Amino acid sequence: MNHLSRRSLLLSATALAGGALLAACSGTPTIPRPTASPTGPIKDQLDEVLKVVSSGSEKFGVYLQDVRSGGTYSFNGDYASQNASMVKVMIALMVQRKARTDGGTLSQENVELTTKMITQSDNDAAEKLWAYGGGPDAYQQLADELKMTHTRRETGRDDWSWTWTSPSDQVVLLNHLVDGGTDAFTPAEATFVYDLMGKVQDDQTWGVGAPKSSAVAVHLKNGWVQFKSSDGLWAVNSMGTVAGAGRDYRMAVMTRVPDFATGRELTSEVGRQVFSILGSGTL
Q: What is the pLDDT along the chain (283 residues), one digit of tens a residue?
A: 333 333 334 333 333 333 334 434 457 899 999 989 999 999 999 999 999 999 999 999 999 999 999 999 999 999 999 999 999 999 999 999 999 999 999 999 999 999 999 999 999 999 999 999 999 999 999 999 999 999 999 988 899 999 999 999 999 999 999 999 999 999 999 999 999 999 999 999 999 999 999 999 999 999 999 988 888 999 999 999 999 999 999 999 999 999 999 999 999 999 999 999 999 999 9
Neighbours of 257 (CB within 10 A): 22
* Alpha-carbon span 282 to 132, nearest angstrom: 42
Q: Domains of the chain by range and CATH?
A: 41-280 (3.40.710.10)
Its pTM stands at: 0.91
- Pairing between strand 164-165 and 81-82? antiparallel
* Alpha-carbon span 78 to 61, nearest angstrom: 7
* Alpha-carbon span 92 to 196, nearest angstrom: 10
Burial of 175 (0-12, 13-18, 19+ CB in 10 A): middle
